[in-house]
Each structure stands twice: as structure tokens, then as C-alpha cells.
Amino acid sequence: MALDMAKYRLIFLEEGGDHLEEIGRALIDLEKEMGSTTAIDTLFRMAHSLKSMAASLGYDPIADLAHRMEDRMEGIRADGRVRSDQELALLFRSLEALEKMVEAVASEQVPVGANEELFQLLAEEPLADDSDCSDDREVESPDRVGGEPKKARP
């Protein structure tokens, strides 16, 4: 049987946009409290859900990045906290990449994959807590850290 994928594309843009907003809010909460269990769980679930929806529609670049983000969140969940400012910045950067990809889908373009460096950083072991040396960042914080998350719409 064949499913009406045009219909699911619209649902993806609506629900995926909501998920990205939730990720943005969770990251802002994590800026304030790196051990927020609620924010960590939300981020994990949203990345997981985005992965499944994107994979269902064949949006592999979105599914791949969401999968890497989910894996990263699994480690954070196991440790009970975001482990450094760099790690938080990396998650913000991943969100921005996901937003760009979903925006491409909304514009009926093919989403382009995240760059390999971002994939590698997400896969790397977390850095030690940098709370005392936050000026020495290896991952540049995006401009939007602490800003309002964007939302892609159909």
C-alpha cells in the first residue's frame, strides 16, 4: 500500500516545527541549569521523534543529524547533566542546522546534510567541565544562544 506522503510532509513541518521550538526552549533551560532533567528528557525525546519522522519521509540528512543529537543526549541523560559550555554550544549549533534543514523542506528544497565537523563533534567524547575556563571554547557558541528559537512552517 502507498501512503500519501504529501500529507505527512505537512504534518512533519507542523509537528517538526513544534519539536524544534521545544528543543530551543529546553536548551535555554539548560543554559540556566545544566542538570535540568526535564529539559534533558525533552531534548532526547524531540531528537528521537524528529529522527523517526524524517526517516519516514526519506529526509536522511535530518534523520542522521537528529540521530547524532539523540545519541549525544543519551550520554548527557546518563550523566545527569550537560557536561560543559562547549557541549551546550554544540547542541545549539545542532539545533540551528536542523532548523535550516527543516526550512529547506518547507521551501520544497532538498535538505542538505550537516557538515562532517558537526557530526564528528557530536560523536566525540564530552570534554571536561569547562565552568572555570569558559573563555577557552573549542566550539564557538552560535549567535542565537539564549535567543528565541525559530519555527519552520509549511
Q: Report phi then psi at 58, rounded to 5.
A: 80, 15
Q: What's the grid cell of residue 14?
A: 507542523
Residue choice 67, 72, 93, 151 for contact with another protein (CB under 8 A): 67
- Other CB atoms within 10 A of residue 16 CB: 28
Choice from 56, 107, 115, 120 touching another protein (CB under 8 A): 56
Eight-state DSSP code of residue 58? T
Q: Which residue has the cell 528528557?
A: 41
**From candidates 25, 49, 77, 137, binder to another protein by CB under 8 A:** 49
Please report whether residue 45 would count as binding another protein according to CB under 8 A.
yes
E strand segments, 4-152: none
For another protein, which residue of 20, 36, 43, 51 counts as binding (CB under 8 A)?
51
Residues forming contacts to another protein in the complex (CB under 8 A) are 1-4, 8, 11-12, 15, 41-42, 44-45, 48-49, 51-53, 55-56, 67, 70-71
